[in-house]
Amino acid sequence: MLLAPPFILVLAAAICAFLPSRWRAGLLLAAPAAALMSLLSYSSGEHHMLTALGFELTVVRVDELSRIFGIIFSIAALLAGVFAWHVDDRMQQVATLAYTGAAMGGVLAGDLVTLFLWWEGTALASVFLIWARRTPAAMATGMRYLIIQVTSGVLLLAGLLLHFYYTGSIAFDHLGLANTGTVLILVAFGIKCAFPLLHNWLQDAYPAATITGTVVMSALTTKMAIYALARGYAGTDVLISIGAVMALFPIVFALLEDDLRRVLAYSMNSQLGFMVVGVGIGTDLSLNGTVAHAVCSILYTGLLFMSVGAVMYRTGSARTSELGGLFRAMPLTAVCCLVGAASISAMPLLSGFVSKSMTVSAALYEGHHLVWLSLLLASAAAIAHTGIRVPYVIFFSEARDIEASEAPQHMRWAMLAAAGLCVLIGVIPASLHGLLPYDAEYKSYSLAHVLTQLQMIVFVALAYVLLVRKGLLTNRGVGVIADTDVVYRRWIPRVLPMLVSGLGTAQRAAGLRVESALGGLHRGLVRIASPDAWLAQGWRVGSMMLIVIVVMLAVLIANLF
């Protein structure tokens, strides 16, 4: 069992902690490669069953769906390892291996308890990729990230316990919205997969992590959640609407943001929306589309994060307001960035063209016309906010006075390899289609598809250029764009102290009033009932009798009614 893919990586992480610098960098390449080998050696089926805490656990379940995610995770980790060859930071390197292992364990988990353990594992390991920046802001961001990720894990635990209570099963197969437990599990998956309103940790954390950390983070957490959705909630209608909103809402933010890594985080959020729609539709074609798009998105988003990271490595900035005209200084990075950008734009001969249209077509075939239009609009916008804007502002816009040189050799290799895979999938779609889990006939290259996609790209480019010329798309001042995190980062921290201090004041005022009222009562009682006061004086029998008679009369009269 120690040779199962997740354990190879976790073991490597443990060993990594005690190795010298270059050995650690080497292990970052060797461990994902070994995990990939190990994964490919498994036959389909359930492996490594064990009983713990009274549960029957299935530690490794390999089938068509989990296998392709495991493969792409190890490839992504390998590429990220090449990209991070220069890193000499024990914390980051150990965290990267442990994080990859946890994500791998998550997609191979055959039951919900095992899934939960790995689910929390990804949260705990990945937060160190943010903390490795070692700045106060990164510490704070990491803490927010951890709280949200752990909340997702806690919801998963609560959900699985309820599900177990209702059904007596912890199997991680199709769940659907069958009971309260599975609803909670869906919310847990939704947090990790950045559903609208649950999304903000993504845009908060990814720009805060280290250059190399963001590359590996972008590949794993959200795609593990997409896998979990595809496994548990295929064909759940509500996901179609959620996915459509998710594809659309990040557009405006991606167009406005100044920090390019945040632009990419929004862009990725929108791409995740396509995958969620695919899961919601739940046909063989749409699920294949989800998986294919997850694979392609890991590659081209990783590539884009790498090229922006390389620029950041050389210039110290990933801000549109501080970059420009770097094409001459970093030509190869620029070309790789263009390949990634063209891939997300679904340019023919590149990976996005092959994968994106599967989900979009499935929405049309199943009659979800509004969703289909939303996805088309989101594709059009992706061409602009990532496909054109990201390479344009870094490499081709007005040159600024920046000293920079080409990315280091290992970064160039990593970017070239990722770009090569994007081209490979684009030119030979069968290389990806052969790995997809379901049987669905889909022809990527048809005259109609190429024509319509080229139309879209050319017209978006035209609109973009015209808008930039009119000054309607230029950066209007820098600064953060308020998103939903304004609620928990600004409003609650502002309102809560006011509320608390207000309540405190009110409580003190009320206390004083009660005290004075009680004091008055006490003084009154003292006045009439103290030993030498009026009530305590010696009373005559006659007047006592009179009082008794008056009281008895009052009782009698009260009884009449």
Partner 1 sequence: MKAFLMWVDTPEKLVKCLAIAGAVLVLLDLVIDTYPYVPRNGVPMLYAILGFLGFGIVALMAYVITPILRRPDNYYSAGSLDDESAGPASADRTTGDVK
Q: Binder to partner 1 among 91, 317, 406, 424 (CB under 8 A)?
A: 317
- The reply on whether position 484 binds partner 1 by CB under 8 A is no
From 512, 86, 559, select the one nearest 310 (Cα to Cα). 86
Least distance in angstroms from the C-beta of 493 to partner 1: 8
Token digits for 547? 């009082």
Instruction: Identify which of 133, 239, 257, 122 has the alpha carbon closest to the alpha carbon of residue 192.
Output: 122
End-to-end, the C-alpha distance of the chain in Å comes to 86
Using the rule CB under 8 A, is 527 a contact of partner 1? no
Which region among 38-46, 99-107, 194-202, 460-468 touches partner 1 (by CB under 8 A)?
460-468
Please, what is the minimum distance in Å from the beta carbon of residue 437 to partner 1?
22
Shortest distance, CB of residue 221 to partner 1, whole angstroms? 19
| By the rule CB under 8 A, 346 interacts with partner 1 | no
Q: Does residue 365 touch partner 1 according to CB under 8 A? A: yes
Q: Is 481 in the site for partner 1 (CB under 8 A)?
A: yes
Q: Is 460 in the site for partner 1 (CB under 8 A)?
A: yes
Q: Which of residues 33-52 bind partner 1 (CB under 8 A)?
A: none
Instruction: Please say whether the beta carbons of 207 and 267 come within 8 A.
Output: no
| Contact pick of 66, 100, 210, 357 for partner 1 (by CB under 8 A) | 210
CA distance linking residue 61 with residue 106, whole number of Å: 10
* Site track for partner 1 across 230-269, x = CB under 8 A: ---------------------xx--xx-xx----------
CB of 464 to partner 1, least distance (A): 7
Taking CA atoms, 130 is separated from 175, 204, 247, in Å, by: 33, 11, 26
The stretches of 42-63 forming alpha helices (DSSP H) are none
- Contact status: 492 vs partner 1 (CB under 8 A): no
Q: Does 489 bind partner 1 (CB under 8 A)?
A: yes
Q: Residue 510's Cα: distance from chain center in Å? A: 46
Helix (H) or strand (E) holding 166, with range, is helix 136-167
- Part of the chain binding partner 1 (CB under 8 A), chosen from 9-17, 145-153, 462-470, 547-555: 462-470
Which residue, 74 or 379, has its beta carbon nearer to partner 1? 379
Instruction: Verify binding: residue 463, partner 1, rule CB under 8 A.
Output: yes
Instruction: Map the footprint of partner 1 across residues 104-163, applying CB under 8 A.
Output: 132-138, 140-141
387, two tokens: 């496909």
466 binds partner 1 per the rule CB under 8 A: yes
Contact letters (x/-) for partner 1, 68-97, by CB under 8 A?
Answer: ------------------xxxx--------
The nearer residue to partner 1, 147 or 518, going by C-beta atoms, is 147
Site for partner 1 in 319-338 (CB under 8 A): 319, 322
- Judged by CB, which is closer to partner 1: 20, or 477? 477
**Residue 5: which residues within 8 A CB-CB, separation 6 or more?**
35, 36, 38, 39, 60, 70, 74, 101, 104, 105, 108
The verdict on 556 binding partner 1 (CB under 8 A) reads no
In angstroms, the CA 87 to CA 215 distance is 13
CB 180 within 8 A of CB 167: no
> Which residue among 364, 416, 423, 427 contacts partner 1 (CB under 8 A)?
364
User: Which CB atom, from 61 or from 385, has the smaller least distance to partner 1?
Assistant: 385
DSSP 8-state secondary structure symbol assigned to residue 388: I
User: In the structure encoding, which two tokens stand for residue 380, read together?
Assistant: 């059009």
Residue 528: both structure tokens together: 């009439």
311 binds partner 1 (CB under 8 A): no
The secondary structure of 510-558, three-state, reads HHHHHHHHHHHHHHHHHHHHCCCCHHHCCCCHHHHHHHHHHHHHHHHHH
The site that binds partner 1 (CB under 8 A) totals a number of residues, namely 78
Question: Greatest CA span in the chain, whole angstroms?
Answer: 118
Measure Cα distances from 404 to 301, 317, 329, 388, 444 in Å: 23, 11, 6, 22, 40
For residue 180, what are its two tokens?
A: 């309260």
Q: Amino acid letter at 302?
A: G
**Residues 394-423 interacting with partner 1 (rule: CB under 8 A):** 402-403
308: alpha, beta or left? (left if phi > 0; alpha if psi -120 to 50) = alpha
| Cβ closest to partner 1, residue 104 vs residue 292 | 292
Instruction: Indicate the residue among 490 and 522 with the shorter CB distance to partner 1.
Output: 490
Among 383, 390, 418, 432, binds partner 1 (CB under 8 A): 383
Does 494 help bind partner 1 (rule: CB under 8 A)?
Answer: no
16, 75, 384, 417: residue in contact with partner 1 (rule CB under 8 A): 384
The answer to the question of residue 461 lying near partner 1 (CB under 8 A) is yes
